[in-house]
């Protein structure tokens, strides 16, 4: 059975203007099919984050084509692209931000603002996901009362509470202790089991080894795992 790729990159390059210009992604061909669980690995500076931004339509390529769910993002007006991101994609970033003075529960419930769900249901779902990431006893805490690792888990819960069809995560387990990291990997695996397509950047080779497909990057190019 062949499924249309959720995201497809064709001869994609991303050059950051210098001086000197940096070819952060340099001629990448990559397709990720619906339901895949992919780890992206490679040394720091090899272009992993840039690749993830391109895959999620957060950035447009300098050359080549990026298609998300079959749509060439070069042809999508900014508003349509923003809507595609908001409704279909869950982003987990390292430099996440939470709303100050707002409880963990409400920070996560915010992740459902775009969905047509009543506030009560948003909070119920937020509570469920926070419990899944081990924060069931921190629902009423505001960010200032949480540790760095706890804030990171709140941000992950917020990205995943809407059960997005496509999840892009940049080092979601970085800086977490083993138990928290395991909980995040389990949660990603569960979402994937329910049908979500997931791409995760990780430095952690132990985490990467649990993923069915690994894409390796070096100097802006894919050196392994380009084909399924």
Residues near ligand ADP (CB under 6 A): 16, 22, 24, 42, 44-50
CB of 77 to ligand ADP, least distance (A): 23
Maximum pairwise Cα distance, the chain:
52
CA 126 – CA 138 distance, rounded (Å): 12
CB of 41 or CB of 108, closer to ligand ADP: 41
- Give the bridge partners for 222, in sequence order: 217
| Residue 13 C-beta: closest distance to ligand ADP, Å | 12
Q: Which residues contact 11 (CB under 8 A, 6 or more apart)?
A: 27, 28, 29, 63, 64, 65
Q: By C-beta, is 135 or 207 nearer to ligand ADP?
A: 207
Q: Are 147 and 138 in contact (CB under 8 A)?
A: no
| Shortest Cβ 152–ligand ADP spacing (Å) | 17
Least distance in Å: CB of 24 to ligand ADP? 3
Three-state SS for 110?
A: helix
If the CB atoms of residues 130 and 208 are measured against ligand ADP, the closer one turns out to be 208
Residues 92 and 196: their CA atoms lie apart, in Å, by: 14
CB closer to ligand ADP, 24 vs 66: 24
């Amino acid at each position: 059975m062949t499924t249309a790729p959720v995201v497809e990159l064709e001869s994609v390059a991303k050059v950051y203007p210098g001086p000197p210009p940096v070819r952060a992604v340099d001629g990448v061909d990559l397709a990720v099919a619906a339901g895949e669980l992919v780890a992206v690995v490679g040394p720091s500076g090899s272009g992993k984050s840039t690749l993830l931004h391109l895959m999620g339509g957060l950035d447009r390529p300098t050359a080549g084509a990026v298609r998300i769910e079959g749509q060439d993002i070069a042809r999508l007006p900014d508003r349509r692209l923003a809507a595609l991101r908001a409704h279909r994609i869950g982003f987990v970033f390292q430099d996440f931000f939470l709303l100050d003075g707002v409880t963990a529960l409400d920070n996560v419930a915010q992740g459902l603002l775009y969905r047509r769900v009543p506030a009560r249901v948003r909070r119920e779902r937020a509570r469920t996901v926070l419990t899944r990431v081990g924060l069931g006893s921190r629902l009423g805490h505001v960010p200032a009362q949480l540790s760095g690792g706890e804030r990171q888990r709140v941000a992950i819960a917020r990205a995943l509470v809407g059960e997005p069809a496509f999840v892009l995560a940049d080092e979601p387990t970085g800086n977490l202790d083993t138990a928290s990291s395991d909980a995040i990997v389990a949660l990603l695996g569960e979402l994937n089991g329910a049908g979500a397509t997931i791409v995760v950047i990780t430095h952690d080779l132990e985490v990467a080894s649990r993923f069915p497909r690994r894409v390796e990057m070096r100097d802006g190019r894919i050196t392994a795992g380009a084909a399924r």
